[in-house]
Amino acid sequence: MRKRVSVVAIAALALPLAACSTAPDEGVLGSAGCPADIRIQTDDLPNADWGFLYSLLDPASASIRPGAQSVTGLLLVDGEPSGVKLTILSGDPGDGVSAAVALHDDESILLGAVDTDAAVLQAEQYPTIGLFAPTAKDPRMVYWAPAKHPGVRSIEQLGAIRDREGVPVPITLRPNDPFGTYMLGSGRLPEGQVQDGAPSPEAFLESEGLPHAGDLLVDPVHLRRAEKPREFALQSIDDAGYPRDTLLAARPQAVVRYADCFRVLIPVLQQAIVDYVGSPTETNAFLVKVAGRFGHPELDAEVIVAAYDLLVKQRMISNGFDSAIGDVDFGRVRELISDMRGAWANLERRLPPVEAEDIVSNEFVDRSIGL
């Protein structure tokens, strides 16, 4: 692992001279002008892809609020109070609503998990700027039963499958998933094949193996330990040629207002990933506890440890194009925008005229912090 950089030193360089009079017990984030409660909206239930956030809390003293699906506690840096609290808000991965909406509806939320394709589509109504990339590859996928669809090795090949009446086999995606629009607009899937629904391992089994969207970090374990398990084949949407990423993003106004805060907070998040990857055991146990309190006992130790192993072994958590962790890959964002632009044009749908520089930034990333 890379050498740890002193966050205190970062703060000292980043803050204006007036901050030198701040009382030392305010902590590194408190003295950087961060909100007293840094509220971060994730896009999913507690799991290893968000483990680095939970690693910033003390499991013994953090407050778990099942009704609000949130966890709050002192935000710790190197085990010491930072001068602020951290609230992690769990999201609903199946509701089809981007966290960009939450960022604009509730300005107390500092950062939210916004997919880069959603950032493009909502750039005019709900503009956001992605500042931090927790993962280097999207874990979402489509899977199907090979016994039902023999010889199929990719999502695109599913487009050639027809039933006896010549109707394309339905592929169930979450509502408002732009991936489906891209696959239709790019000609990789035929019209009528993509349908909105509530994809899950249970729904996949009940459908006797029809293609469903899923999550590489959760669904394979559930499918393997089902009462009547079924073999499945899969392809990630990334491998299907759709380079979507989930970024921690902020409203443009917040990027300006809290610039001094982000100069300290983003390196803290970078270091949190490094520390979590190096020592996950306590945090993974905490994730299991939180998921159980939230009413999701299915997110048990087996699922979360498997998710952590997958993230690390398949380098879904990895340095970017250089030695830094957490930086946004502009090349992927530009490729995504180009692909979306062509697909949306083929469907005669309007895409906001944005470029990568309009929706992402590496301004606050510390290049010396990496795995």
Comparing 208 with 278, the larger pLDDT belongs to 278
Structure confidence at residue 273 as a pLDDT band (50, 70, 90): very high
Q: How far from each other are the two terminal CA atoms of the chain, in whole angstroms? A: 5
Q: What is the reported pLDDT for 227?
A: 84
Q: What is the reported pLDDT for 21?
A: 33
pLDDT above 50 (res 35): yes
CATH class given for the domain over 7-137+244-359: alpha beta
Helix then strand then coil, in percent of the chain rounded to 5, is 35, 20, 45
Could you tell me which CATH number the domain at 140-236 has? Answer: 3.40.190.10
pLDDT above 90 (res 2): no
Question: In the β-sheet with 212-215, what is the strand arrangement from edge to edge?
Answer: 194-196, 171-173, 212-215, 140-144, 233-236
Query: 49-95 pLDDT, tens per residue?
Result: 999 999 999 999 999 999 999 999 999 998 889 999 999 999 876 66
Query: 297-349 pLDDT, tens per residue?
Result: 999 999 999 999 999 999 999 987 778 999 999 999 999 999 999 999 999 99
Q: Which amino acid is at 190?
A: P
CA-closest candidate to residue 49, choices 113, 119, 129, 92: 113
Mean pLDDT of all residues in the chain?
A: 89
132: tokens are 């931090």
Q: What is the reported pLDDT for 3?
A: 38
Backbone angles phi, psi at 177, to 5 degrees: -75, 115
So where are the chain's domains?
7-137+244-359, 140-236
The reported pTM is: 0.89
160 Cβ contact partners less than 8 Å away, ≥ 6 residues apart: none
pLDDT above 80 (res 278): yes
Average of per-residue pLDDT across 190-201: 90
Domains 7-137+244-359 and 140-236 share a fold: yes
pLDDT above 90 (res 291): yes
32: tokens are 């950087």
356: tokens are 């990568």
User: What is the rounded distance in angstroms from the CA atom of residue 177 to the CA atom of residue 112?
Assistant: 18
Q: What is the reported pLDDT for 219?
A: 94
What percentage of the chain reaches a pLDDT higher than 70? 92
Comparing 159 with 88, the larger pLDDT belongs to 88
pLDDT above 50 (res 22): no
